[in-house]
Amino acid sequence: MKLPIIAYGDPILKRKGIEIDKDYPDLQELIANMFETMYAAHGVGLAAPQIGLGIRLFVIDASPFADDDPALKDFKKVFINAEILEEEGEKWSFNEGCLSIPEIREDISRYPNIRIKYVDENWVVHEEDFTGLAARIIQHEYDHIEGKLFTEKLSPLRKAMIKSKLEAISRGQVDVDYKMKFPLLKRKGR
């Protein structure tokens, strides 16, 4: 089932997610729904706060980037209760977008190497290193479960330049081909 994606401006996107346990209700169905929602929106990652759940869960399928990085060919993963343990290297810039912030793309600077601990959908614990684009997608989704958006990483000037566009997104004034929930959309007659 496809779920509506929460748009910029909703407080859930600013809230730090809480850890879940194995008995979280309908977890496998939730994960399947998140992948379905992500694919329908042509995204490579989706975090639980983006569908309105303040929990530490995100899904990634980076295979659309396989042309840029062959290591991403089968990169489909579920990250539960993730914790980034280390970030290192020389920061690099890449043009990012976010399903909660349609039509906005910005160059974002991030560390190239990370070590992360997480539980997968079968509740197996992993501690792994990732690099390059894989690390970047994980960092972007990880920020979501920490209540952070990439727009917060922009310079004050850049933030000022996109402010009105962000407000328009909150009000639903954006052209998007997937289902979204806009925090400031005023519905008529209700």
* Interatomic CA distance for residues 188 and 190, integer angstroms: 6
Residues that bind Ni ion (rule: CB under 5 A) add up to a total of 1
Query: 84 or 125, CB closer to Ni ion?
Result: 84
- Please, what is the minimum distance in Å from the beta carbon of residue 21 to Ni ion? 25
Residue 129 three-state SS: strand
Question: Of residues 72-111, which lie at the interface with Ni ion (CB under 5 A)?
Answer: 98
Toward Ni ion, which CB reaches closer, 50 or 81? 50
Decide: 45 and 58 in contact? Cβ < 8 Å.
yes
Which of these, 119, 137, 115, lies nearest to 128 by C-alpha position? 115
**Residue 12 found at the interface with Ni ion (CB under 5 A):** no
Q: Mask of contacts with Ni ion, 29-58, x by CB under 5 A?
A: ------------------------------
Cα–Cα–Cα angle for 105, 106, 107, rounded to 5 degrees: 140
Instruction: Select 104 or 187, whichever has its Cβ closest to Ni ion.
Output: 104
8-state DSSP, 161:
H
- Write down the least CB distance from residue 34 to Ni ion, Å: 13
Residues carrying an active site annotation = 141
CA distance 121 to 130: 19
Q: Are 66 and 73 in contact (CB under 8 A)?
A: yes
Q: How far is the CB of 185 from Ni ion (least distance, A)?
A: 20
Nearer to Ni ion, 12 or 125 (CB): 12
DSSP letter, residue 55: B
Q: How far is the CB of 137 from Ni ion (least distance, A)?
A: 9
The residue whose two tokens read 């992993």 is 126
Binding site for Ni ion (CB under 5 A): 98
